[in-house]
Amino acid sequence: MFLPELAQSLLSGVLMGLIFALVAVGLTLIWGIMDIVNFAHGDFLMTGMYLSFWMYSLWGIDPLLSLPVSGIFLFFLGVVVYQLIIRRILGAPMLIQIFATFGLMILMRYVAFYFFTPNYRTIQHTFLSGSIDLGGIYLPVPQLAAAAGAFLTTGAVYVLIHRTRIGGALQATAEDREAAALMGIDTDRMFTLAWGIGAATAGIAGSLLSIFFYIFPEVGGIFGLIAFVAVTLGGFGNVAGAFVAGILIGVIEALAGHFYDPALKTVFVYALFLGVLFFRPQGLLGVK
Partner 1 sequence: MLAAAVAYPFVFRKPFPQDLAIKIFLFGGLASAWNVLGGFTGQVSLGNAIFFGVGAYATAVVQTHWGWTPWVGMVLGMGVACGVAFVIGYPCFRLKGHYFAMATLAIGEVFSTLFMNWQWVGGAVGVYIPLRDDTWKYFQFGTTKLPYYYVTLAFLVLALLISEGILRSRMGYYFRAIREDQDAARSLGVSARGYKLSAIGISAMITSLGGGLYAQYVLFIDPPSVFPMMLSIQVVLLAVLGGVGTLWGPVLGTVILIPLSEFTRIYIGGTGSGLDLIAYGFLIVLVSVVQPRGILGFFRKGGNA
Which residues in this chain contact partner 1 in the complex, by CB under 8 A?
A: 35, 37, 84-85, 88-89, 92-100, 102-111, 113-114, 217, 225, 228-229, 232, 261, 263-264, 266-267, 270-271, 273-274, 277-278, 281
CB nearer partner 1, residue 66 or residue 232: 232
CB nearer partner 1, residue 63 or residue 217: 217
CB nearer partner 1, residue 152 or residue 267: 267
Q: How far is the CB of 217 from partner 1 (least distance, A)?
A: 8
Q: How far is the CB of 178 from partner 1 (least distance, A)?
A: 20
Q: How far is the CB of 35 from partner 1 (least distance, A)?
A: 8
CB nearer partner 1, residue 223 or residue 273: 273
Q: How far is the CB of 129 from partner 1 (least distance, A)?
A: 33
Q: How far is the CB of 229 from partner 1 (least distance, A)?
A: 7
CB nearer partner 1, residue 110 or residue 120: 110
Check the CA dihedral 126-74-42-10 and report its sign. Answer: positive
CB nearer partner 1, residue 55 or residue 242: 242
Q: How far is the CB of 111 from partner 1 (least distance, A)?
A: 6
Secondary structure of the chain as H, E, C letters: CHHHHHHHHHHHHHHHHHHHHHHHHHHHHHHHHHCCCCCCHHHHHHHHHHHHHHHHHHHCCCHHHHHHHHHHHHHHHHHHHHHHCHHHHCCCCHHHHHHHHHHHHHHHHHHHHHHHCCCCECCCCCCCCCEEEECCEEEEHHHHHHHHHHHHHHHHHHHHHHHCHHHHHHHHHHHCHHHHHHCCCCHHHHHHHHHHHHHHHHHHHHHHHCCCCCECCCHHHHHHHHHHHHHHHHCCCCHHHHHHHHHHHHHHHHHHHHHCCHHHHHHHHHHHHHHHHHHCCCCCCCCC
